[in-house]
Structure 1
Amino acid sequence: MSFEGKTVWITGASSGIGAALAREWAGRGAAIILSGRDRDRLDAVAGSLDTETLVLPFDVRDEDAMQRATQEAVAWRGVDVFVANAGVSQRSPATQTAMQVYRDIIAIDLTAQIAATQALLPHLTERQSGRLVFISSIAGKVGVPLRTAYCAAKFGLIGYADALRAELSQSGVDVHVVCPGSVATDVSRNALTGDGEKRGRSDRAIDNGIPPAEAAKRIVDAIVQGQREIIVAQGVEEAMGEMRRTPDDLLDQVAAMVAAGYMEKMQGE
């Protein structure tokens, strides 16, 4: 598979895994659309890429801005790969977490990612080609302490992606779920505490995690290989992810149901 001449749109692209994915795909010949809230940081990433770039800053919770960005992205070069990467983590016990924190994390990590995908689906299905890449987490496969809101959102993102993959299995649009473990980014430093404030400090697991450039290469290599569920972790986190990996034969079985007319039968009842 070649990405030469393709267009990859990445949300949460100003740092961490998002910025690393932009560099990896740019190195493989793709044009890159960068989205996030901070134009200056997005411009800095764009300036580091030796490829055509388009910077579309917006808050993923602003659906009007997201719709406008979608129209602009499609008009620019079309979109071949969309990476739903924007997100925020959590570091607080459930007993000390305000309900608003749950609402905020689920809005950013789940609802906004669904809304952005739904806005782009008509473009991809009309072309009958493309790839949707959802950045979930090992915490989207295994319930991890101090991350109840984050786990709820990331588990939900996998559920949406798996169901969408089945629905699109006859359309030419592929769906990939990525479950990173600890990657050396600012995810822990930017995580929300129980009162909704930024944590402001990292932790040893994250600091000793996989370098973002390595994680990005592993992700894109796995997409090239056609992997539907991609575990990017090491040590105990990798072992947990593999224990909870969805078997390929189960994904095949659900896709076969769609091919056999399951959706049409259900809609006709």
Structure 2
Amino acid sequence: MSLTNKTIWITGASSGIGEALAMQLSAEGAQLILSARRLAELERVKSNCSNQDKIKILTLDLIDAERLTSKTNEAIALFGQVDILINNGGISQRSLVNETKLEVYRNLMEVNYFGNIALAKNLLPHMLGRGKGHFVVVTSLTGIFGTPYRSGYAATKHALHGFYDSLRAELEDKGIKVTIVAPGFVKTNVSINALLGDGSKSNVMDETLLNGVSAGYCATSIIKAMKKEKREVYIGKEAYGAYVKRFLPGLFARMIKKAKVV
């Protein structure tokens, strides 16, 4: 599948995986809508992309549920259609269960789950009216198995897997494609912005992320999966954990307790 002149809306486009996706997709001639909270960072990303005349910026905050419907309408109006939504925006967590306030779990779910699916639901009538559309949702390997320090984050990613598996089952025959992307450790600033148990930011770069795959490598893998319209793809050497959990759950339970995740 060629992505040239496809209209692709990327959330979380101001850094990390979203930024890498913007740079690679712009080089392929796609029409891009870049979204995140920080306008200055989105403008920086755009300035580093190819074919800037094909790139529009639309700021949004995934926690602002009341404005996501109007933001979706704005996104459609920018190019007249949205062919692909890459739902990449979100926040992470670094705290133990017994040290995490309930409001932190609520915040994680509002951003990572409710904000994510709100955009998908808002776009569905538009895509169904055209008889085609593609949701690419960037979750995590923690959407398949939970780890220490990620209880809330893993819960949001598990929820996304459940929602999009159901959406696919209901609408794939109507032209709606779903690609679930589950990366392992990717070298981005996600741990710096992760929430601690009291809701404050971590402001620490995880050693595991420093040794993870690059955002560019991750973006390349996502784009390959999009073109092949894969239903699910795992990225990174940690992907073996998904298979261990499936086929050797007892071994996995012992392994994950000792896994280095920060």
| TM-score, normalization by structure 2 | 0.90
In the alignment, residue 28 of structure 1 is paired with which amino acid?
A: E
The amino acid that maps onto 1:157 is L
8 A contact 2:88–2:137 mirrored in 1 = yes
| Residue matched to 1:261 | none
* Structure 1 residue corresponding to 2:63, chosen from 61, 67, 80: 61
Give the SS at the match of 1:187. Answer: coil
| Structure 1 runs (4+) greater than 4 angstroms displaced | none
Q: Distance in 1 between matches of 2:24 and 2:147?
A: 29
Matches within 5 A, 1:123-142: 123-142=126-145
Q: Distance in 2 between matches of 1:197 and 1:133?
A: 29
Deviations 1:172-193 (A, max 9, x none): 1100100010000001111100
Given that 2:179 and 2:225 are in contact with CA atoms closer than 8 Å, whether structure 1 keeps it comes out as no
Q: Structure 1: state its 5+ residue gaps.
A: 246-269
- Residue type at the aligned position of 1:192: L
Residue of structure 1 in register with 2:82 after alignment: 79
Q: How does 1:98-109 map to 2 (within 5 A)?
A: 98-109=101-112
Q: 1:177 aligns with which of 162, 176, 180?
A: 180
The residue aligned with 1:46 is 46
Aligned partner of 2:125 in structure 1 is: 122
Determine the C-alpha separation between the residues in 2 that align with 1:139 and 1:27: 31
Q: Percent identity?
A: 39
Question: 1:242, 1:23 → 2: CA distance?
Answer: 32
What amino acid sits opposite 2:93 in the alignment?
A: Q
Q: Secondary structure at the match of 2:204?
A: coil
Aligned match of 1:22: 22
Partner AA of 1:215 in structure 2: C
Report the residue type matching 1:55 in the other structure. Answer: I
Alignment counterpart, residue 206 of structure 2, candidates 178, 203, 207: 203
C-alpha distance in structure 2 between counterparts of 1:242 and 1:224, whole Å: 24
- How far did 1:243 drift? 4.0
Alignment RMSD, CA only?
Answer: 1.3
Counterpart contact for 1:34–1:54, Cα < 8 Å: yes
User: Which is worse superposed, 72-81 or 132-141?
Assistant: 72-81
1:63, distance to aligned residue in structure 2 (A): 2.4
Measure the CA separation in 1 of the matches of 2:191 and 2:93. Answer: 8
Hey, what's the Cα distance between the residues in 1 that align with 2:142 and 2:132?
Answer: 30
Partner of 1:93: 96
CA distance in 2, matches of 1:201, 1:95: 21
Question: 1:241 maps to which residue?
Answer: 242
Question: Which whole-Å CA distance do the structure 2 matches of 1:46 and 1:176 have between them?
Answer: 25
Contact 2:11 2:86 in 1 (8 A): yes
Residue 174 of structure 1 aligns to a residue whose secondary structure is strand
Residue 48 of structure 1, CA deviation = 1.3
C-alpha deviation, 1:224, in angstroms = 1.3
**Equivalent AA in structure 1 for residue 239 of structure 2:** E
Describe the superposition over 1:62-110 as per-residue Cα deviations: whole angstroms up to 9, x where unpaired.
Answer: 1233222211111121101101111111000000000010000011110
Aligned-pair distance for 1:215? 0.6
**Structure 2 counterpart of 1:212, which letter?**
A
Deviation at 1:47, TM superposition (A): 1.3
Match of 1:108, SS state, is helix
Could you say what secondary structure the match of 2:164 adopts? helix
Provide, for residues 1-28 of structure 1, a one-character-per-residue CA deviation record: whole Å limited to 9, x for no partner. Answer: 1011111101111000111111121121
Supply the distance in 2 between the matched residues of 1:9 and 1:168 (Cα, whole angstroms): 20
User: 2:186, 2:212 within 8 Å by CA — same for their partners in 1?
Assistant: yes
What TM-score do you get using the length of structure 1 for normalisation? 0.88
Distance 2:68 2:58 in 1: 9
Q: Deviations along 1:126-146, whole A, 9 cap, x unmatched?
A: 101121011110011011111
